[in-house]
Structure 1
């Protein structure tokens, strides 16, 4: 490989930091440089591993993740146990395992890698400033065996650029979230960015104005004083990447009065943007409805238009049978809509829902 090849790979790595969609191409070119079948990039935070890969090994890594093999990744566990993540160099199976006998007996290789024609790697671990653990691995054919010294050294020369590229990508993702949180502050909304495990990553000044609603526990874990709301928040974080679950959560004070609603806004990434550690932005809004405004109820609690109309009629004292008659729906349809509203507002009983809606309509600030 020439100096020009090295320079082109260096440039491509920095381009991928700015354009995440370039990572599969970059990993493919880097794998060729490292005499491997393909490349994989993992970013591991306190909740999950996000990854991307070159096309040549993408299906294998999808099976790796879907089959739960990530939890049995002895390369990672051995590397962490031996402190290899603190060593700024590329590693091979000779580093992760004590001898070839241990490698051949390893369940990850015996049952997953070897049957798919791979099993030898040249990879590196690095701790990024935003807290993610980076794992970059070039997967070699089983028939190719261990990477030789020249290949490892070739990749070691590129490593500072690869880690720096990942650090830039991580920082850019973090700054995008910071900009959103700061913008909300200028609009008068209290907001914070948290990880999937609930660790508070950053917040704005307006959050101090609602400090009677929240605190932090060990490890800067975000805690809501309203226990029901707290449980809903962490249930939402548990499936933040999907479409189900509560997204707007009523926050009750000591008297049971709802004066704020917490909106959980997922931080969306492109398919290859794996470095943003934030899972959600939390936004606090005052829970004020005027004359039971159904449109505002819809916004506050992610209600469908039909659910918002039912909630509005409930707040005006209508029973389910009356609502069914007025709307021309069956009683079962209205009951199902009421059940959906209760799920979204965190109410365990219909009487609690009616009281909540009444309090929202009467709230004064």
Structure 2
């Protein structure tokens, strides 16, 4: 598995924190140590709820003051990030003038503490919440180097999936398997590493036309291409490169959805009696809505370039026009499109566009 600072061990910690929010400081701390950051924080923003989150202990007093006050509402840094919603980790300071940073009340307090630049990524949840990950640099360490930024972005798909569960649980601790599955509010099942279903909640059981019982207590999906991706994710549980988020397109009255396969790591397994996998489905509402690149990245593990191309194609552009709008060559666009097909379980452009038009924020159960 490797030591506590290795990338695979950090990924384990991220998935553990999805169900055990008290573990977020350790997961964020491991990422900070590897990326040369001062501290990391996860925030959950929603229109009708107070700001919630978890932070590393070193900045806990500043974090507590931040979430307890309305200072973030007048912070240029926070509002700029909230408006732009960067789908990959970026240096927020690069988007602001020196004057804006100087007058920002939140940044003034952080500078007094010795913290300078902010690196941030926003993961829009299909439910409407914004899960925001922030890593900060010590003033003495100066700018964030490209390698550290790339490292943070390598964790982004795992943070996005863990953030989905954290948002649905409201960053509260899940105590017991059935209660946890119900609290998630999504169709879900827990499984052994061999793919045997240990428990499923009522939301998933009500979708018996989509989720099928398989031999030896397994789980299958009626749509064959999606089922192939599910079985690959189950058998490749320990392979960090395996595709863990994929669509099930609408057909014959079935609703379109996106299935996520999350590994249960470390003490998170204790919540589910030693299970190794959680399968959860997000159920979009059909419509002509064009999803943002950020939502596509969060749902399907697309890179920023792939998500931009998919968004442009979904807006009705031809491959050539979409390539130009994305700032890439047609040859590169074809390469990206093949990767998009693989990650979304589609095989042609028309099928991809039809799928993406179903991806819309969905209501909570």
Q: TM-score normalised to the size of structure 1?
A: 0.45
Higher relative contact order (CA 8 A, sep 6+): 2
Q: Which has the higher helix share?
A: 1
